Structure 1
Amino acid sequence: MRIATVVAHLVTATAVVAAVGATPGRPPDVLYAAPSGHGSACSSYAPCDLSTARDRVRGLVAHARGDVVVELRGGTYSLTTPLRLGVQDSGAPGHRVVYRAAPGQTPVLSGARKITGFRKTDAAKNVYRAPVPKGTASRELFVDGVRAQRARTTQDPGGFSVSATGFTTADASYASWTNAPGVEVVANNGWKQLRCPLASITPGAAGGSALTVDPGCWTNNHTSVPNPSFPFNGAGLPSLDRVTWLENAYQLLGTPGQFYLDSDAGYLYYVPRPGEDLAKADVELPVAPELLDLAGTPGHLAPLNDTDWRATYTGAWNYSSGRHLGDLGADVHYTQNNGDAFSYTFTGTGIQVLTETNADEGDMDVYVDGVKKQTVSAKSTERLAQQAVVSVTGLAKGKHTVRVVKAGGDYLLIDAFTVIPDVVAPVHDIAFEGITFAYATWTAPSTAGYVDNQAGILWDPATRTPTRIPAAVQVHRGARIAFTGVTVQHTGTSGIDLADQTQDSTVSGSSITDIGGSGVDVGEVDDYYQTQPALMTSGNTVAGNVVQRPGQEYQDAVGVWVGHSRGTTLSHNDIGYTPYSGVSIGWGWGWASSCALQAKQGLADPCLHGTTYTGGNHVVGNHVHSVMGVLFDGGPVYTLGGQASGSEFVGNVLGECINGCNMIYHDEGSSLWNTHDNVVEFSNGSLWLNLWTPTIHDDSIHGNFTDTDRYNNSGTDIDLTPSTVVTDGRWPPAAQAIIDAAGPHLPPAPVLDDDDLRISYTGSWSSSGSRSYGDLENGVHYTQQDGASASITFTGTGISLLTETNSDEGDIGVTLDGADKGTVSANTAQRQTRFPVYSVTGLAAGRHTLTVSKKSGTYFLVDGFRVK
């Protein structure tokens, strides 16, 4: 029955991806755009530019009989500001607006400035310099498609002590650095990465150096870290109390592949890698903050506290702060007198008033513009904070006054309110197919710092409210937006963001790689209280994608992040090579867990307790691997917070954990998960399951296959069946079926990394990542057991085994299509990586199976295979 369920999910996921194609039955209207397009004809003979094509679409949609298509010819569309699409650019169900690549061509929407004119300026350090316009701001550089690194110190330079304003060191050389306000201090601490610019570097009192951190950033990241607790963050507060590295000083240049941008002087400095010729290289400096922006109305909605100056309280109201009952800002206004009123005048189309429900609450009358609209009740058997008891929507846009009058009960509490400033009108029915989005930068951390919460969710430096890394491709309040076969790469931002309660939208069959922040974001963290379906994130799908190497700038970011959501599906993606978790889904910690469970966890009493609309989500058939390369306390898939309805976690293959990991990690508050028929491999000493605290409750966990029996179940009312443990890689048929079905099933690349699911490892194997030796994707699989083997079945005419050779390696046995091919040796005096120790060519075209096994030596390493 369980395998049948997995197969059913496979069929569903395939149907979802297939459904994103063109509208059948009617020929589309086609406009043509080109990088050098001009005029307004937008024809195949006279293509126009992108913005003109967009404007032309507006006149076609109303009368379209099928899709309206903008076909983009190949080449680079250089952007300094994003292509913006609003409600007026939408299609309709049955005839979408489609932006697609011309057949066989690659259009690239690029936010980079191409840099030329390099001259060597420091022969000793091999530093080259090129001019850029003064004031050019960027935090990234790419040379021939390879990310460069801002000049930085070595990892964990040591010798620093925390001072009242930053750090001190006995090393006097720091005081000689120029442009101190451009220097950034970075700290990796637990699950966070924290960044702050410096204010100054001065000689220390004892002859060393004193590094003064920007005062505002020092407050946010060290002395007064934002900590509102549930539903915005947990209790842990790692702070900027160490120096993991310093970056962005000219004096740090010298390491190949590093750069320094002197914005004020207008120069870019770079130290080329071996083999790079800057006279010929494609050097791209991202300058655009965003590449594509789709925006409906009203945009982002967030609750305002009851202390907002526009709120008016009439009668005998009292104010209570520091309540620790889950109220927004830990405060409320309250009254015990019937007839006392709260009023708020706003411009918009609606308002929601958040209050506390409890047994001592009662009725309230709601007036809009002087007319009574409804009577609602805040009476309940359980205390619940931040409840949207009053929801007034659908008003004509304009100036309105809402008035809430106490009509019964012992108390009326006003905690917060959310103004809906505009009509709810999503940007909708727009598709993007086969387009590449590349090169975007986010420069805010250079001046305000990076105030981390968790998983790429930050605190706004000014308001200290939740925010996040912006994305190169952003959808704000979208509906039926589809990204199919697109590429997002080489950014200092996140990749694709389905934000502001976007619904029924899809990212499928796409590649999101080499990303500064998170690969794909879905949903919000501050709409937990929402009761209106039109204002919820729902029905979105992320399926069949390759999401690799996120967090390249901000190492707390993840492959796919999902906040509060209903009916989100993450299906058959390949997610890997992450510095923190692969997938993070849910928010709120123990917010939705009962006060009794919070007390059982040892949290403060009274408790911070409310509700969320999250639920009905599906995490199905994903391959999540090579995670936790830098930070700690995460895992391949990490869930967080409670749900209003059940979700499913099924058919996933999770492997290659590097640091501080839990393979299936249902963290604080996680509830109503049906977690079954997953495969955990190469856990490398990690727990296959961690339910560490009682606020994790009512989860069902069964039918899983793992390579370890280690787990922790400290949850409440958990229906747990221990996993089937397989320690030698000989997975039973049911597990092998899950492995075979996982991932996006894309055509094989010519080079397969060692964690590709098509490679089977038999015997005692482990994996190792973050090695920094030059391995493919920075990791290998290895064994010390003679006879342990790795096999791959491939289609082609040749194959090479890529391994590491060294003095501790030995002989490797080779079998091809069942025939013994003898042995090869990986024993060399010096370390060599990505070495093709065995190669064969000239095979008959078709399927072949190569098996390699350890014969001697201390280690045998598999780094990958190259197929011909």
Structure 2
Amino acid sequence: MRINSYILILTFLCLTNIQSQHKIYVSTKGNDANLGTKTTPLATLIGARNSIRKLKKNKTFQEQGVIVIISDGEYSMKEPLVLLPEDSGTAEYPIIYKAEEGATPVFSGGKKITGFYENEKGLWETKISESLYYKWKFDQLYVNNKRAVLAKTPNNGFIKIDSVSQNIWKQGSSRIAEYAQQIISLKEDGFDLLSKIKSEEIKNVRFKAYHKWDYTLRHINDIDANSKKIVTSGRGMKPWNPLKNDRRLVLENFEAALDAPGEWFLKDNGTLLYRPLEGQMIGSTEVIAPALENLISIIGNEKNNKPVEYITIQGLSFKNCHYKIPSTGAEPNQAAAKLNAAIMFENAKDISIINCEISLIGQHAIWLGKGCHNSLIEHNYIHNIGGGGVYLGDFKPLKDDLHTHHITVNNNIIKSGGQEFPPAVGIWVGHSSDNNISHNDIGNFYYSGISVGWVWGYKLSLAKRNTIAYNHIHHIGWDLLSDMAGIYTLGDSEGTIVENNVIHHVHAYSYGGWGMYADEGSSGIFFKNNLVYNTKTGGFQQNYGKGNTVKNNILAFAKKYQLQCTVAEEHKSFSFTNNIILFNEGVVLKGAWDEVVADIEHNIYWNTNGNDYDFNGHTFKAWQNRGFDKHSFIINPNFKNSFKTDFRFENQKSISKINFVPFDYSKAGVIGDKEWKKKAKLSNLIIENFEYAVMNNMILDPERG
């Protein structure tokens, strides 16, 4: 009775707090000079923020929560919403910015471009006065809510590099020269277009080069069309991942390349040109150039240890955020980690982003940087993004209040990322701990789905005790970059658990394309109850690390190798037990298996295509004689229909021999109603193009480093 009475009292107090919330209204028909009532609404989020600040300064204002209710419509943002410590709520009285019931308000950081006419070349043309008089430039363009293509050559495929020479002008103290010149000789024909570039245009021309897991975006200093060379300068090439023979690139941002439907180009004189897609009409086509480089910044006071606290943003849509290409270009960096984000947090806690949509941006969607904790990113639809989805933590192992921890990233759809910066990932965890990343659907990225850790080797890492569970990760890598995985880890990660994820369709240009990849120094990670299938080079790969556990997983249908390990060390690298390995092509093991120190036992191996079992050059019996898999079996695991991705069991006769415990892999991925789950699915066109890229890549089989 006492417990029931306590619950009734608590419920009454909560309802009283909700009812006592001060309400501020925002409408497309509003004015920031208004009072912010339902009949006299404000016009912007900034107007609402300022109104809350005034309320807090008013002595007659009693402490209470504030809810900003935003009506339907499209809002053009003239500046980012910046929330500082004085904009905080409290645990009892939070500040909430949310959509009105049934409304889907959209906040755009872009400018609508109008005034187009069709010129004599069939191109749409308009003059942008801000570009002419104020030198405003933009690097992305959105047409009818789709990303248009900056004029490039070739339109399909790549130009291949023949050779690269480097002149170091300033070495500095790093292995990477501070400043150097690279002269890139190209193999392919196609310089006929480059010969049409005017000398005054060369400064605008850029190249994008794809190499291993990285990507270089640079401006060009000079072009020699006759010798097929381009000259560029910037930082020196990374010795471990340079531009070299057979790397691929495209050239972009010059008028002569504007030769395919859907391409655009902005001239120095402010003239915007667009070659329309079939069926597009000027009068019914919306063209938006992104202007703002950030849409929301929630920034606490690091110096005085005053975080921004207890703010919720709910049910809002954000789009058209610009990423400005620096004059120095974009030097290669793993996971595109040096981009900014459309929604940026620093020194913030108890912040929630719920049921929002983020799309049509040039960079990452959300970044909870240094000093963030106890926050929630849930049920958001993040798609068509230039960079990655959700990034957590910092590049450095910051401690105490600057350490980022206890972030929940749950039930989000994150798809079609890396559209401007291919190395970007769906979810990135740097030096950040105790996070829960669960029930997300991550699809159509060119690098990894989830990346955890930011230390190469055994140096100090603060990426501890992260839980990566029940995520659906698929259609990753394509044939663009290499050395990636559905789930990728780095460094000491004691207490990290990777469980109950479904990972499939992971491919790579050359080497790599794994389901789960424990890269340099990955240690203390427990991989269990994961289903991985249809990868290029294996369900699991460990480069080097220590004390990892791989248990009770289903690893199926890798094309080349089912399992890989790269470096054998003196300590125990991992244990691999109670797993099922199913395949119909390729070998079982490839790598340093003959020297690795590992517990490999109680596993099932089954080749659906015959009796060929290659354990790193050994037969199964010879492999057992080396001390591995002595209590493992070559036996049919009796899946119901693995060829149609039904990995349930007809019976448990075989799996009982290795004490395999069945798990319900159908629970992975987003949860909710049918419409939400349907939204997570990729289009048939994307899936078909992925399959074509994989097929073509396997025919060519480019074994390139």
CA distance in 1, matches of 2:294, 2:307: 20
1:721: which partner in 2? 577
Query: 3-state DSSP class of the match of 1:57?
Result: helix
- Provide, for residues 701-743 of structure 1, a one-character-per-residue CA deviation record: whole Å limited to 9, x for no partner: 1111121482134574222215223554342369885322111
2:377: which partner in 1? 507
Following superposition, the deviation at residue 77 of structure 1 comes to: 1.8
Change (3 A) 1:425 1:670: same
Following superposition, the deviation at residue 160 of structure 1 comes to: 5.7
CA distance in 2, matches of 1:501, 1:740: 36
CA distance in 1, matches of 2:540, 2:427: 20
The correspondence of residues 837-852 of structure 1 with structure 2, limited to 5 A, is: none
2:525: which partner in 1? 673
Q: Is the 8 A contact 1:582 1:624 kept in 2?
A: yes
The correspondence of residues 484-503 of structure 1 with structure 2, limited to 5 A, is: 484-503=354-373
Change (3 A) 1:746 1:253: farther
* More helix per residue: 2
Following superposition, the deviation at residue 442 of structure 1 comes to: 1.2
Query: 3-state DSSP class of the match of 2:49?
Result: helix
Q: Is the 8 A contact 2:505 2:533 kept in 1?
A: yes
Q: Is the 8 A contact 2:529 2:663 kept in 1?
A: no
1:731: which partner in 2? 647
Quote the sequence identity (%).
Answer: 26
Following superposition, the deviation at residue 455 of structure 1 comes to: 0.6
1:273: which partner in 2? 277
2:389 is equivalent to residue 540 of structure 1: no
Q: Is the 8 A contact 2:358 2:381 kept in 1?
A: yes
Query: 3-state DSSP class of the match of 1:778?
Result: helix
The correspondence of residues 461-480 of structure 1 with structure 2, limited to 5 A, is: 468-480=338-350
Following superposition, the deviation at residue 613 of structure 1 comes to: 2.9
Change (3 A) 1:98 1:35: same
The two structures have a TM-score, normalised by structure 1, of: 0.62
Q: Is the 8 A contact 1:474 1:497 kept in 2?
A: yes
Q: Is the 8 A contact 2:507 2:514 kept in 1?
A: no
- Provide, for residues 252-282 of structure 1, a one-character-per-residue CA deviation record: whole Å limited to 9, x for no partner: 01111111112x3111111111111122111
Letter in 2 for 1:481: I
Change (3 A) 1:721 1:196: same
Q: Is the 8 A contact 2:340 2:363 kept in 1?
A: yes
- What do you get for the CA RMSD once the two structures are aligned? 2.8
Q: Is the 8 A contact 1:678 1:704 kept in 2?
A: yes
Q: Is the 8 A contact 1:127 1:254 kept in 2?
A: no
How many residues of Structure 1 are paired with residues of Structure 2 in the alignment? 568
1:398: which partner in 2? none
Q: Max radius of gyration: which structure?
A: 1
Query: 3-state DSSP class of the match of 2:220?
Result: strand
2:698: which partner in 1? none
CA distance in 1, matches of 2:34, 2:14: 26
2:108 is equivalent to residue 115 of structure 1: no
- Provide, for residues 644-668 of structure 1, a one-character-per-residue CA deviation record: whole Å limited to 9, x for no partner: x311111111111122311111111
Change (3 A) 1:172 1:708: closer
1:77: which partner in 2? 75
Following superposition, the deviation at residue 34 of structure 1 comes to: 1.8
- Provide, for residues 620-673 of structure 1, a one-character-per-residue CA deviation record: whole Å limited to 9, x for no partner: 110011101221101111011113x31111111111112231111111111111
2:124: which partner in 1? 128
CA distance in 2, matches of 1:564, 1:24: 39
CA distance in 1, matches of 2:102, 2:257: 44
2:321 is equivalent to residue 440 of structure 1: yes
2:450: which partner in 1? 583
Q: Is the 8 A contact 2:162 2:244 kept in 1?
A: no
CA distance in 2, matches of 1:679, 1:776: 20
CA distance in 2, matches of 1:580, 1:612: 22
Following superposition, the deviation at residue 612 of structure 1 comes to: 2.8
1:55: which partner in 2? 50
2:518 is equivalent to residue 662 of structure 1: no
| Structure 2 residues not aligned, in runs of 5+ | 1-12, 167-181, 583-641, 650-659, 696-705
Query: 3-state DSSP class of the match of 2:374?
Result: coil
2:587: which partner in 1? none
| Structure 1 residues not aligned, in runs of 5+ | 1-21, 228-235, 299-421, 458-467, 593-610, 757-768, 785-868
Please point out which of 165, 180, 183 is paired with 2:205.
183
CA distance in 2, matches of 1:585, 1:573: 15
CA distance in 1, matches of 2:333, 2:123: 37
CA distance in 2, matches of 1:572, 1:750: 12
Query: 3-state DSSP class of the match of 2:98?
Result: strand
CA distance in 1, matches of 2:329, 2:685: 31
Q: Is the 8 A contact 1:92 1:428 kept in 2?
A: yes
1:651: which partner in 2? 500
Query: 3-state DSSP class of the match of 2:428?
Result: strand
Q: Which moved more, 1:547-556 or 1:733-742?
A: 733-742
The correspondence of residues 809-828 of structure 1 with structure 2, limited to 5 A, is: none
2:474 is equivalent to residue 625 of structure 1: yes
2:164: which partner in 1? 162
Following superposition, the deviation at residue 161 of structure 1 comes to: 4.7
Q: Is the 8 A contact 1:514 1:550 kept in 2?
A: yes
2:226 is equivalent to residue 194 of structure 1: no
1:354: which partner in 2? none
Q: Is the 8 A contact 1:564 1:614 kept in 2?
A: yes
Change (3 A) 1:172 1:489: closer
1:256: which partner in 2? 261
The correspondence of residues 173-252 of structure 1 with structure 2, limited to 5 A, is: 173-178=193-198, 179-201=201-223, 203=224, 207-208=226-227, 210-213=229-232, 215=233, 217=234, 220=235, 223-225=236-238, 236-239=240-243, 242-252=247-257
Please point out which of 531, 534, 557 is paired with 1:682.
534
Change (3 A) 1:638 1:570: same
Q: Is the 8 A contact 1:495 1:518 kept in 2?
A: yes
CA distance in 1, matches of 2:581, 2:294: 47
Following superposition, the deviation at residue 297 of structure 1 comes to: 1.6
